[in-house]
Structure formats: C-alpha cells, structure tokens
Amino acid sequence: MQRIHRGLIQESAMLFKILLPILAIASIYALGRFQAQRKEALITPEQAEALRAQEVADQRAGRRAGLIALLLLVTLAATMAYFYWRDANKEMLIRVINIQSGETQIYRARNKDLHDRVFTTLDGRRVRLADLERMEVETAPSEP
C-alpha cells in the first residue's frame, strides 16, 4: 500500500513539473494578449492605421534580419564542414620506428584513418603498432 502511495506521489510530482511551465507560458501569453487588446481599445483609428503600417515595416525588417542570420549560419556551417573534411582527408606521412632494432618503415595514410596505435594506409592495409614501436606523424609533402 505504501509503495503504491509513494509511486502516485512521484508520478504527480513529475506531472506537476511538466504542467507548471506550461501554465506559466500560457499565463504570460494571456497577459500579453490582454494588454494588446486593451491598448488597441484606447487608440484612435488614425493611430491604429499608423501602427499597422509601422508593424508591416517592422515585420519586413525582421524577416530581412532573419534571412541574413540564416544565410550567415548556413555559410558558417558549410565553411566549418569544409575545413573539417579537408583536415580529415589530409594525407599524412607515418614513420614507424622499432625501438630495439632502430628499423624504420614509412607509410601514407589519411588523417581520419589515424587512431591511437592503429591506422589504415592509403592502399587499405591496417597497421597495428606493437609496444616496442614508436610512431611519428607529419603532413605528407604534396606531390607535383
């Protein structure tokens, strides 16, 4: 019995947490509508016409500002995506050095294919470094 009662209290508390913001938003909206209607009742028809013309001009300016902001946002997102893609596809020169023997092997891989001690070369080979190997990575020189 006590478990059921506690469960109902928790459920009603969750419901209250959802309904309270909805009630606050609805109250603010209703208050705004009430004030707007009261304001409209106090003005003359000439003032109302001037206000409507001003609202139309404000809407156009708002739309223009919104379109500019949207265009700027899309341009910024496309630029960031391009730079991410360019850096991920950059060709890297990888030197794997065996610490014991000093033997060096050179590989080429894309930056996106480099992970901790594992990488995939341009020709598709997957290389996993042993504990005795060290990896040096640098940007591959561009070939003419």
pLDDT tens digit sequence for 33-91: 888 777 766 677 777 777 777 888 778 888 899 899 999 999 999 999 999 999 999 99
**8 Å CB contact between 89 and 111:** yes
Binned at pLDDT 50, 70 and 90, residue 1 comes out as: very low
109 CB neighbour count, 10 Å cutoff: 20
For tokens 């070939």, name the residue: 143
Q: What is the pLDDT of residue 88?
A: 92
* Average model confidence (pLDDT) across the chain: 85
For tokens 């591959």, name the residue: 140
Q: What is the pLDDT of residue 62?
A: 83
CA angle, residues 35, 37, 41, in degrees to nearest 5: 115
Three-class DSSP category at 31: helix
What backbone phi and psi angles, to 5 degrees, belong to 42?
-90, -5
Give the start-to-end residue ranges of the domains of the chain. 2-85, 90-139
119 class by beta-carbon count within 10 Å (0-12 exposed, 13-18 middle, 19+ buried): buried
By mean pLDDT, which of 22-26, 47-51, 92-96, 120-124 is the weakest?
47-51
Half-sphere exposure of 144 (CA within 13 A, CB side): 0
